């Protein structure tokens, strides 16, 4: 079995790969390329490849100054799920969050993303809040690692 190659997106091609995975998995919150560049400045982003094939991406939102809570999000394209790639991406994101001082880990999942919710719950996350953003109709779920 081949191993994942996981990299920070430090050029336009890798940022566009991160954008592609994000937008495929979270279409109601699709991001423009400018949004992605901004996110790359604020958060720790990574993209994962199997050989040259794009598999997934991660986002780690580090703790803010007034909290020790980080958000870790691992995304794997549907055709690559069930092969342990999400496990690897999640473990990396969790380690990165803890290196940045996180004591509490949260994630956020679209309510309609059954695979994402199942993965989060399997890894010890419990639901803490459901909400719809102002002016939107899509329900989100915040979960916290217990």
In a domain, 56, yes or no: yes
CATH classification at residue 81: 3.40.630.30
In a domain, 101, yes or no: yes
| Average pLDDT rounded to a whole number, residues 33-53 | 97
pLDDT at 74 over 80: yes
Instruction: Supply the pLDDT for residue 66.
Output: 80
In a domain, 15, yes or no: yes
Instruction: Supply the pLDDT for residue 2.
Output: 65
In a domain, 129, yes or no: no
Distance CA(142)–CA(35), nearest Å, equals 21
In a domain, 27, yes or no: yes
pLDDT at 136 over 80: yes
Domains in the chain, number: 1
In a domain, 127, yes or no: no
- Domain extent at residue 84: 4-105
Which are the contacts of 137, defined by CB distance < 8 A and separation ≥ 6? none
In a domain, 134, yes or no: no
pLDDT at 1 over 60: no
50 falls in which pLDDT band (50, 70, 90)? Answer: very high
Residue 85 Rama label (left phi>0; alpha psi -120 to 50; beta): alpha
pLDDT, tens digit (0-9, with 9 covering 90-100), for 98-113: 999 999 999 999 999 9
């Amino acid at each position: 079995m081949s191993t994942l190659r996981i990299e920070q997106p430090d050029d336009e091609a890798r940022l566009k790969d991160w954008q592609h995975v994000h937008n495929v998995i979270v279409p109601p919150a699709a991001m423009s390329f400018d949004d992605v560049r901004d996110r790359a400045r604020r958060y720790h982003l990574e993209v994962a490849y199997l050989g040259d094939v794009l598999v997934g991406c991660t986002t780690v939102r580090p703790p803010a100054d007034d909290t020790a809570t980080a958000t870790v999000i691992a995304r794997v394209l549907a055709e690559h799920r069930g092969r342990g790639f999400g496990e690897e991406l999640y473990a990396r994101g969790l380690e990165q969050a803890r290196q940045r001082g996180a004591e509490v880990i949260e994630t956020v999942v679209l309510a309609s993303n059954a695979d994402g919710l199942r993965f989060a719950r399997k890894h010890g996350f419990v639901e803490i809040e459901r909400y719809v953003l102002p002016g939107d109709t899509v329900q989100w779920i915040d979960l916290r690692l217990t």
